[in-house]
Amino acid sequence: MSSFEPRRRFSPFPGLRRTPVHVIGAGLGGLCLAQGLRRAGIDVAVYERDVSAFARAQGHRLHIDEHGRDALSATLPPHLFRLIAAIAGRPAPNINGFDPQLRPTGVFALDDSAPESATGDGLMPAHAVIDRHVLRQVLLSGLDDIVHFGRRCVGYDSDTGTVTARFADGGSAQGSVLVAADGVGSVIRAQRLPQAQVVDSQVRLIYGRVPLTSDLRGGLPPEMVSSVFNSVVGPGNRFVGIAPVQYRLPPATAATRLAPEITFPPIDDTLAVMFGCRLDHLGLSDTQLRAASGRRLRESVLEHLSGWHPLVTRIVERWTPTSIYPITVRSSVPVPPWPTSNVTLLGDAIHAMSPAAGAGANIALRDAAALAAALTEANTGRPLSDYEREMIDEGFRMVRLSAASGTRILAADPLPE
Ligand SMILES: Cc1cc2nc3c(=O)[nH]c(=O)nc-3n(C[C@H](O)[C@H](O)[C@H](O)COP(=O)(O)OP(=O)(O)OC[C@H]3O[C@@H](n4cnc5c(N)ncnc54)[C@H](O)[C@@H]3O)c2cc1C
């Protein structure tokens, strides 16, 4: 169990007392921030538009790098970080390239130089893999009284002292700082920084999961099963991404030992598998994509893979239909720094990026840990502008890098510059 001090009511800005930090969005970044503020004893509330934590598909798997790992370590209660370290898979730090006949085209070695982080329950390397739902469940742990579901924010009113979030249900919440953690379609960003634009990359992904059964595992090239990610690129810049999710310890078993307050459903090893191509090559409009069943999406992808190696089509044939859904890949357009106020941002709300570099969640987690530290220190005079400057530099650097990776694979550059 956690060993927290009781929560103090605390204002991050001198002169303001008894006014909480309000966070809009209970995604990875918003929850990580809430954990960090709670750990620091700062009063925080999170408002999420979804009616529950798992009300909609949010992805199947995350590659956690040293930024994400260090952010989780800094913000979570130690026993929850130990739980993640015990569960998360430890792939070889490689991304393998293949052509459609599964002939290797190259291996990209990820930077593995960051030291392993010590936890009370072993070490967590710089590259780990975890099911997104599992991570979200850990991040939600202990926040029952802090996260408010079914509260869609529609805007805010601010003055020099306080900021008031407004909600679609007619309610409002006044605090000292408002944090936009509401993802790529952020309403807070639209009001706070109307000059910051998000563009459609014109790339669509179809994403699902495949049970990693022993017969499938045995038939795959060993490096495909042991690495972080595999990218099979075919004609017309169509690609299939294959990402194994293999647990060190079954989540339920690890939770029984390390965090009995969390109950995970039975979860088996899987492959998270995505098909991607440009919208104009897909043969389905956005309306058709959104309306299609999982089976229809799977059929459509199999049509694109005609003539590809039978193992690739066999993997896609095994997609669990209920797990399949389409994704529109969007990217923020970098903007110059702005004057800091009591409305700040983190993660995809300000620097959404194509998933090509697998970095968005890690940067959102890092923002969250940095913002938790900044708000903790703000009471002693360290300005939030330091947080924003670093967040802008690093976030937009990764936006550019992800756009460049996406351009190489898919020949679609989302950024106008
Ligand atoms: C296919 C795919 C694979 C990916 N794989 C990786 C990976 O391996 N590693 C990695 O680092 N990144 C990965 N990413 C990127 C990663 O998913 C995002 O960058 C990350 O989720 C951003 O976190 P966030 O907290 O900023 O936003 P989100 O996770 O999008 O959370 C935003 C939250 O705000 C809520 N919200 C939105 N509007 C409102 C409102 N008005 N009021 C209240 N609540 C609201 C939403 O419902 C949501 O819960 C991947 C992305 C995709 C599409």
Q: What is the pLDDT of residues 206-242, one digit of tens each?
A: 999 999 999 999 999 999 999 999 999 999 889 999 9
121 pLDDT tier (thresholds 50, 70, 90): low
Is pLDDT above 90 for 96?
yes
Residues 149/48, Cβ–Cβ less than 8 Å:
yes
Nearest alpha carbon to residue 304 among 212, 217, 206: 206
114 pLDDT tier (thresholds 50, 70, 90): confident
Of 66, 133, 182, 402, which is best to mutate to test ligand 1, by the most ligand atoms within 8 angstroms of its C-beta?
Answer: 182
CA–centroid distance, residue 27 to ligand 1 (Å): 6
Is pLDDT above 50 for 8?
no
7: tokens are 């929560």
CA–centroid distance, residue 262 to ligand 1 (Å): 22
327: tokens are 């994704």
205 lines ligand 1 (CB under 6 A): yes
Distances (CA, A) of 252 to 28, 231, 261, 262: 21, 31, 11, 8
Residues 103/96, Cβ–Cβ less than 8 Å:
no
As its CATH architecture, domain 21-410 has 3-Layer(bba) Sandwich (3.50)
Q: What pLDDT, on the 0 to 100 scale, is given for residue 10?
A: 39
Q: Which atom of ligand 1 is nearest to the CA of 360?
A: 19
347 lines ligand 1 (CB under 6 A): yes
Residues 241/231, Cβ–Cβ less than 8 Å:
yes
Is pLDDT above 90 for 318?
yes
Please give the torsion angle defined by the CA atoms of residues 215, 217, 221 and 222, in that order, rounded to the nearest 10 degrees: -130
80 lines ligand 1 (CB under 6 A): no
Is pLDDT above 80 for 402?
yes
Distances (CA, A) of 371 to 30, 333, 351, 362: 10, 22, 15, 14
**CA of residue 210 relative to chain centroid, distance:** 20
328 lines ligand 1 (CB under 6 A): no
Describe the strand order of the beta sheet including 172-175 as a list of residue ranges: 153-158, 163-167, 172-175
9 pLDDT tier (thresholds 50, 70, 90): very low
Residues 371/346, Cβ–Cβ less than 8 Å:
yes
CA–centroid distance, residue 361 to ligand 1 (Å): 7
Q: Which residue has the higher pLDDT, 351 or 117?
A: 351
Task: Give mean pLDDT, residues 13-31.
Answer: 79
Q: What pLDDT, on the 0 to 100 scale, is given for residue 40?
A: 92
Give the whole-angstrom CA distance, residue 170 versus residue 336: 34
Give the whole-angstrom CA distance, residue 330 versus residue 354: 6
Is pLDDT above 70 for 275?
yes
Q: What pLDDT, on the 0 to 100 scale, is given for residue 3?
A: 37
Helix 132-140 / helix 78-87 crossing angle, nearest 10 deg:
170
Q: What pLDDT, on the 0 to 100 scale, is given for residue 125?
A: 83
Q: Which atom of ligand 1 is nearest to the CA of 274?
A: 1
Instruction: Look up residue 376 and give its amino acid.
Output: T
User: What mean pLDDT value characterizes the chain?
Assistant: 90
On whether the pTM is more than 0.75, the answer is: yes
326 lines ligand 1 (CB under 6 A): no
Pairing of strands 177-180, 270-278: unpaired
Is pLDDT above 80 for 119?
no
Residue 200: HSE in the Cβ half-sphere, 13 Å Cα cutoff: 10
Q: What pLDDT, on the 0 to 100 scale, is given for residue 11?
A: 43
Q: Which H helix or E strand runs over 400? A: helix 384-410
415: tokens are 């950024």
414 lines ligand 1 (CB under 6 A): no
Q: What pLDDT, on the 0 to 100 scale, is given for residue 4?
A: 35
Q: What pLDDT, on the 0 to 100 scale, is given for residue 124?
A: 82
Nearest CA to ligand 1 atom 41: 153
49 lines ligand 1 (CB under 6 A): yes
Give per-residue pLDDT as tens, 31-57.
999 999 999 999 999 999 999 888 877
Which range (4-8, 93-97, 397-401) has the least confidence? 4-8
Task: Give mean pLDDT, residues 174-181.
Answer: 95
Is pLDDT above 50 for 1?
no
Q: What is the DSSP letter of 305?
A: T
Pairing of strands 122-124, 128-131: unpaired
Q: What pLDDT, on the 0 to 100 scale, is given for residue 273?
A: 97
Pairing of strands 177-180, 343-345: parallel
Give the whole-angstrom CA distance, residue 7 versus residue 43: 7
64 lines ligand 1 (CB under 6 A): no
Q: Which atom of ligand 1 is nearest to the CA of 359?
A: 11
Q: Compute the Cα dihedral for 75, 19, 136, 410 and give only its sign.
A: negative
Q: What pLDDT, on the 0 to 100 scale, is given for residue 14?
A: 46
